[in-house]
Structure formats: C-alpha cells, structure tokens
Structure 1
Amino acid sequence: MLKKLVLLVLSFFIFIFYTYPQLISDQHELPELEEGVNLSTPYHTTLSFFYNLDREHYYPDRAARTLDLSGTASNPEELAVMLQQIFEGKGIIILTSSIPNDPNYVDSTSTSAGKFYFDSNKLPGIFLEKRGKNWKFSPFSVALIEDIHAETYPYGTDKLLNILPKIGNTEYLGLQLWQLVGLGILVFLTFLAHLVFTFSVDRGLIYLMKRMGYGYIGENYLMPIAKITSFYLIVVVLSLLMRVLQLPAEIWSWIVIIFNTLKPFLITVIFYRIVDIIAAYFSHLATKTSSTLDDQLVPLIRKTLKAMVILVGTLFILRDGLNFDIIPFLTGLSIGGVAIALAAQDTIKNFFGSVMIFIDKPFQVGDWVTSGDIDGTVEEVGFRSTRIRTFRNSVMYVPNGKIADSVVDNHGLRQYRRFFTTLTITYDTPPELIDQFVKGLREIVLAHPDTRKDYFNIYFNSLSSFSQDIMFYIFFEVPGWPQELNARHEVLLQIVKLANALGVRFAFPTQTLHMESFPEKKGLLPTYPDQSTYEENLNKFLATELKKKPN
C-alpha cells in the first residue's frame, strides 16, 4: 500500500512539472493597461485587480483601488492580497473573455441591477457592484474578505503564506523555489503521517482488540476502516496545506476538484464498511434468538443500508466534487417518484407486505405453512417475495403482499401434532376383550416418550356396518414432520403387537354368509377364552413390550 501511495504522489507531481509550462503557454496573456487602474466596466476592474497583483508587476496599492472601502478600516493593500489568495486558494479561474465589457451591464439572472458575480457557487459573497460610473468590489464583499480568507486558510495555515515565500522566488520548471520546497515538505509529511497512522493501528488498535478478545473483528472489520480513514485524513491535510503553495490556478483548480471528489468518496467507503460492522452485530444478536426469520432480515438490512450509503455518497460526490446542482435532480426525482409509485403499486405493496412479515413474524424459515393453494416449508423471506418449498419438491415464489392479506396456517408453531385414526375390530370380539384392548392402548400412549400425557381420547366409539370401532385420538410433542412419522411408526407397531398378544382381529369391509351349524361340523367363528385369560395376556404384554425403549 505504501509503494502504491509513493508512485501515486510521484506521478502527480511529475504531471504538474511537465504540464505546467504547456498550460502557461496556452494561457491568454493579460494585456497591459495604459493606465494603472481602469474601473469603467467589470472587465477592466477585474483586469486591473489581477494585473496589478501579478508577479512581474506587483502593485498592491493599485489593486486596492478596485475595492470599495467605504465600510471597512482595514489595510487596503492587505485586503487586496487576501482577496487574490482567496481566488487562488479556492482554485477559481477567472477567464477575462467571459467577463462583460459593458459599463451598463445588468445580470439577467439576478433581480439586482449593476452587479457581477464571479462564482456564485464557490464565492457567493464576492461580486462587483457599480457605484456611480465605477465598478468595484462591493462593500459587502470587502467586509467578508477576512472571514473568507480565514475559512480558506484555517488552523494557522495563513501564516505560512508569509513565511514560505522568504525561502526564495527563483523559478524551476515553472514553479518558484519556495513552492518546490513546500511540495517536498508535503510529500515527507504525507509519508510520515501514513507510517505513524499505520503503526498506531497495527500495533495499537489491533493489539488492544486482541487483548480484549475481539481480534477477528479488529483485523476483518476495523482494520479496513482504519486504512480508509488514514487516506481521508491525509487528503484533508493535503487540501489544507497545498493551498498555501499558491499553485497556478490552471493546475490548482483541477487539484481542488480531485480533493473535493475524494473526500465524499472516501467517506462513502468508510460508511460502506461500517455497514458490515452493523450487520455483523445484528447477525450476532440474531443468533441469540430462536426465530430464524431474524437470520433472513440481517442480509436485507445490510443490502438496504449499503444501497442508501451509495446513493447518498453519489449525491455528495456530484455536489461537492463535480459542482453538480442536485436540487433539480432531487426535485425531478420526487416528481418521478410519484409516477414510479403509481406504476409499481404491486412492488410497493409487496415491500410493505415484507415489512409486516418481519414485524408480525407469522412464520419463520423452516415452518410448514398452508394458505389457500400454498402448502410447503418456508425457505427464504425476501423484500418482494417468499420462497416456499412444496412437498412435491418444487419451489413457489409467493408475493409478500398476497401473504400479508391471506390467512396463513402455520403448522410449524404447533406445540402438539394431532394423530387420529379409527381401529376397526371384528363383530365377534367379546366386550371383555374390547375393554382390555382399550386399556392396553391407553398404556401404550402413557408409556411412549413423545406423546402428550395430559390429554388423549381412546374409547369404544361406534358400531359400523362391518366392524366395531375404537377411536384413537392422541397428540405427539415433537419438533418436526420426520419425528412425528417416527413416533407414529412406533405407536402403531405397539398397537399391532398388543392386538396379536390379546387375540384381537382387525376388521375390513366384508360380507359374511351365516349357515346353519351341523353337529358333526365345527363352525367358522373363533372361540374366545374367559375374562381372566384376557387380563393375564394384557399384563404379560405390558410387562414385556412396554418396558422396551422405542428405537
């Protein structure tokens, strides 16, 4: 990273040294004034001001005559020099060809007659005003010179404007000696600041985070932010100190654009990285909750915040770096937003439907839900639609607006899973055997580990056309469908074993033809033992089968 920074700075200064002479040769030379000062038009006043502050003919007393000093008691020559330094520090290029050469000039875009603004964006308070027959810098502008100068050269950097030029004014490659020395000092300070900041982060912050047990967060989240922050601070310092060098406006104006673009860009990158930290924190909180819907919400929050950071950062880059007026853009965006909202009603409806899902949490990922034709397991909840895996293993993408307006039956929130069936036994089964069989069924439910013990219904319930019916109505306390199937399997096996042990026969739809019995022939109906035998068989089953632990 340090090598890349070195190459970038060197390339930048090589560009300055080799392009500055060409810029000078392309610049229109200011024509000499026949008289020292001419205030007849905005053009001549501007020309008089900058011409008398040029290096080759330096007359600050003449330049001060372009200022309307009626409202100030400050030194006129110092004010003139400070005003020139403001133009140079803000990188404002004055093209004399664009300045009106009309004594009676009126700005058609302004309601005030007899005024000329140089740059309403960068210097809204500096303008020429016609007083009588002369055009001068207005008293309002003159009163603001000291404040604007302090804003342009803050933190005492204005003192360097008087110290550095004492080094020497000999020109090399289009720049004076004190400017070259200042560039060298800036390069040295840039590398020194980068090294100090990197050392303090690597050896200080990361070491401290590791001691606190957050080494992973420090290296993967804080370290990238710290590096970008170091570049941002370097850009801020360079933008303040390079103004002192008083580089030619043709070069400095481009450097100002670069600095003004880099500042919001780096801030955008910093906040973009901060979003990852926020998302990681929310993800950590989501792991502490039982709901899986929070795990789906964290990526959506991260993407939304990053999109907002990019959008806001782009607007600031356009406004501060490229001097793009974003007010008409925002106005057009608001008007266009109404049209987009009308054209995208379903999308907006789905968006608010997703918001309601995340707020109400009618289901979470992994739940089995039923709603109309929808029947399956929730796999993912997005901002527009919810993905549901059906039992055919197909995937349904259901708009969230439809889900929000529908009745959703969430089977995944069941505490108990109901199991109901009818056990049909033959009509030749004696009542005593039916009673013992029902008792055995109840003992099976009480002995199984996954059944609800406080509520179940097992009764001899009805007489159908071909069987005697026993209602078997129980509940399983299991987390999912596979566990429910396994519990059913185990209970049904126990029922079959109980029936075999007691001699109970299950009925199925049949028609029986009864014929008169003959003494020499045995009938087809089975013979059943007495009550004591039923009780003995039931106790033997309970003592052997129900003591076994289900697989």
Structure 2
Amino acid sequence: MNSNSAASAATNTTQITTAGFDQQAQYLFHSSAAWVQTHWLQILIAVAIGAVIYLILRGLRGWGAKLARRNTDTTGWTTIIGKAIGKTTNFFMLMTAIKLVVGYSYAPTVVQTTVTFLFTVAAVFQAAIWAREVILGFIVHRTEAGEHGETLGSAMSIIRLLVSFALFAIALIVVLDNLNVDVTGLVAGLGVGGIAIGLAAQGIFADLFAALSIIFDRPFRKGDSISYDTTFGSIEQIGLKSTRIRSFDGEERIISNRNLLDKEIINNTHRVHRRGSFAVGVIYQTPPEVCAKIPDMLKEIVERHDCTFVRCGFTGFGASSLDFEVIFDSDGPDYAQFYERRTAIGIDILKKFNDDGIDIAYPTQMTFAAGPDGKPVDPAGSAVVRES
C-alpha cells in the first residue's frame, strides 16, 4: 500500500511538472505571437537597428584582432587591448542586439525577463573573458619588460588556471545571484575549499607568489650581482620555485624564492659607486707639520685616479703609529674598475711617502739597558736600543 502511494505521488509530481512546463511554454508562445501581431512595425525597426549594432560589434572585434596582429610590440598595451576586444563572443553580440530590440518594441514581460536573463549571462561571462585577457596580458607585459620570460613560461599555466578559476567563479556567483539563488553556501564552500587547497600546497604557492613578487617588484634581474648573508654572486636563473646564484668562488647556490626574499639583499649592480678606504700609520718621530700635510697629500692622490675624495684625517694614536684614514668612492658598480683604482691609489701612496721621506710605521719594540740601581745606562754615549 505504501509502495503504491509513493509511486502514485511520484507520477503525479511528474505530471504536474510536465504540465507546468507545457503551460509556461504555451503562454510564452501566445504572448510572443500577440506581441508580433500588434507591434510588427516597431519590431522591424528594432531588428534593423539590432542588426546594425551586431555588425558594428563584429567590426570592432575584427579591428581589435587586426590591431593585435599588426602591432610589433607583442606585450604593449595596444596589443593587450586589441586581443581583449578580439575575444568578444558572438553570443554576447547577439544578446546585446536582442536586448535593444526587445527594449524598443514593447515586448511582453515574460519575453523581457527571458532576454534580460540571457543578456546578463552573456555580459557577465564576457566581462570575465575580457578581464582574463587584460590581466594575463599585463602579467606578460611586466614580465617581458623585466626579462623574466623563462620564469613566466614556467608559471604561466598555473597563473592562467588561477586567474580563470577566480574570474569565472565570480561570474557564476553573479549569474546565480541574478536568478535569486541564495549563493551564501556556495561562497562559503568556495572559501573553505580555497583555504584547504592553500594549506595543502602552501609551500608551492609561497614560492610561486615569491617568484611573482620578483617579477613585478624587480629587486634584482638575471645577471645582477647581489649579496645576502655571507653569499656574494650573480643571478643565473630565476625559476618558479628557486633562484640560482653563481657565487664568486664558482659555486652554484640554489635558494628558494621565499627564503631569498625574507633576507636583506644588496643589489651591487645598482650601486652608484663603490667605497674604498686606506688606514695609513706613520711613525711617532714624524714631525707635526709633516703630519698636517698628509690629508691634502692623500686627497691629491685619490683625485689623480678619477675617484671621488670623501674625507681624510687623523684617527688616533696607535700602539706603534700615528694613524690616518682616507675614504674615497669609485663611480659606478664595476668591481673590477674599483679594484684597479684602489690598487693604483695604494701604490701611489707608498711611492709618495717614500719620495717625501715619510716612514710608514710597523709594530716595533724598544729595549733599554739599565744598571743595578734601575736607572738607564748609556755605555756608548747613547741608549742601547734593540728593535725587534
């Protein structure tokens, strides 16, 4: 008895659903027929206008595609906008024309509702397609400008998937919301799913976003000389997960992008100058008037070798010397040039001091002889001195 009742109820539900659908279809058909009979002139005019609008939209799509093909700069904004326009779909153009026809020719409410819904679907998904093309084109534009094409090639498939998923998920939610569907549960489900995926692949995504940060922020580029912690080297490759650095000792060092960006990085390629300094000590027997001339003497030597003099002065009384320091800058980031100039300056300082009879100090000890009473003795008429 219960089985027969359940079967009967299911049959009745199916009949009611089918009957309701047939009734709605008949109503839509009769309403449309009556509308065509009473507003045929407005419909003809609107169809003509709609056809012109459709042809204009097709012409704009073709113009955008040609603009993208003719532009020699494949990553420029003109090419990006042209490609986006070229992605305009026939469904969107058709629904735009139909929407204008229906709005002008006083269509029945049921027809207007149907057309409005279809136009909303077409417009929302078309906007998602345009946004995807612009975003991906912008990423390519920034990457090519920064010479990170190899990194982009590795990451582009993942980036395209993430951008497409995000945009079309938003488009779907907007369409469902226009159908008066409660999308709260869907949004919450997508959020929970995104969190779960993010936690499961947080290491991969962290390195991916670090690679994108390198691409967009450009703290360094391929070929740049950088230093961090105790590592000095040049960038050989910026990958999707890691960066390869050729150290000055010849070793190849590999570090994850996330760990690299967590460190303080010094980009030596972007230096405006390299700074060098010499500490020079002269013996205590050097006359004060000679010591007073040393800063100007060192300044002249520095400027003679195309370096920028910063400062020079007396720094203190050392254990065996009167200490001076000279600081100078070599313009540009070229380390080899700085190395040569520093060597030349050092040799020139040594030559100048030798020519002027200025003795450069070195560690010494002086031993004095003393008698039984502890007083110094001078058997040779002068203090007995032994240098060691």
Please classify the TM superposition score into its range, dividing by the shorter chain length: 0.5 to 0.7
Match of 1:278 among 135, 138, 145: 138
Whether the 8 Å CA contact 1:279–1:302 is kept in 2: the answer is: no
Residues 187-266 of structure 1 aligned to structure 2 (within 5 Å): 201=62, 206=67, 229=88, 232-233=89-90
Whether the 8 Å CA contact 1:452–1:476 is kept in 2: the answer is: yes
Per-residue deviation, residues 385-430 of structure 1 (Å, max 9, x unmatched): 4444422233333334434555x25364766644233224456655
Whether the 8 Å CA contact 2:295–2:312 is kept in 1: the answer is: no
RMSD over equivalenced CA pairs, Å: 6.3
Q: Partners of 2:138 and 2:213 in 1: how far apart?
A: 22
Label 1:459 to 1:150 Cα distance change in 2 as closer, same or farther (>3 A).
farther
Label 1:216 to 1:459 Cα distance change in 2 as closer, same or farther (>3 A).
closer
Percent pairwise identity: 18
Q: What residue in structure 2 maps to residue 436 of structure 1?
A: 293
Per-residue deviation, residues 320-346 of structure 1 (Å, max 9, x unmatched): xxxxxxxx9999876665444444444
Match for 2:13: what amino acid?
K
Q: Partners of 2:275 and 2:27 in 1: how far apart?
A: 84
Q: Partners of 1:357 and 1:214 in 2: how far apart?
A: 23
- Deviation (angstroms), 1:214: 7.8
Which secondary structure state, in structure 2, belongs to the residue aligned with residue 480 of structure 1? coil
Which secondary structure state, in structure 1, belongs to the residue aligned with residue 323 of structure 2? strand
Which secondary structure state, in structure 1, belongs to the residue aligned with residue 138 of structure 2? helix
| Mapped pair 1:364 → 2:220 | yes
- The two structures have a TM-score, normalised by structure 2, of 0.52
Q: What residue in structure 1 maps to residue 266 of structure 2?
A: 410
| Mapped pair 1:459 → 2:314 | yes
| Mapped pair 1:391 → 2:289 | no
Q: Partners of 1:500 and 1:508 in 2: how far apart?
A: 15
Match for 1:472: what amino acid?
E
Which secondary structure state, in structure 2, belongs to the residue aligned with residue 393 of structure 1? coil
- Deviation (angstroms), 1:305: 4.6
Gaps of 5+ in 1: 1-101, 108-112, 117-127, 131-135, 157-192, 241-263, 317-327, 519-551
Whether the 8 Å CA contact 2:241–2:257 is kept in 1: the answer is: yes
Per-residue deviation, residues 232-283 of structure 1 (Å, max 9, x unmatched): 539987xx9xxxxxxxxxxxxxxxxxxxxxxx99999877655564345546
| Mapped pair 1:499 → 2:356 | no
Gaps of 5+ in 2: 37-53, 98-123, 171-184, 370-377, 381-388
- The two structures have a TM-score, normalised by structure 1, of 0.40
| Mapped pair 1:479 → 2:360 | no
Q: Partners of 1:218 and 1:333 in 2: how far apart?
A: 33
Q: What residue in structure 1 maps to residue 19 of structure 2?
A: 137
Label 1:338 to 1:115 Cα distance change in 2 as closer, same or farther (>3 A).
same
Match for 1:501: what amino acid?
D
Match for 1:392: what amino acid?
D
Q: Partners of 1:379 and 1:149 in 2: how far apart?
A: 72
Q: Partners of 2:137 and 2:218 in 1: how far apart?
A: 29
Match for 1:441: what amino acid?
L
Match of 2:276 among 406, 419, 437: 419
Label 1:216 to 1:353 Cα distance change in 2 as closer, same or farther (>3 A).
closer
Higher helix share: 2
Label 1:146 to 1:376 Cα distance change in 2 as closer, same or farther (>3 A).
farther
- Which is higher, the Rg of structure 1 or of structure 2? 1
- Deviation (angstroms), 1:502: 1.8
Label 1:201 to 1:358 Cα distance change in 2 as closer, same or farther (>3 A).
closer
Q: Partners of 1:511 and 1:405 in 2: how far apart?
A: 51
Match for 1:464: what amino acid?
A
Which secondary structure state, in structure 1, belongs to the residue aligned with residue 308 of structure 2? coil
Q: Partners of 2:316 and 2:129 in 1: how far apart?
A: 73
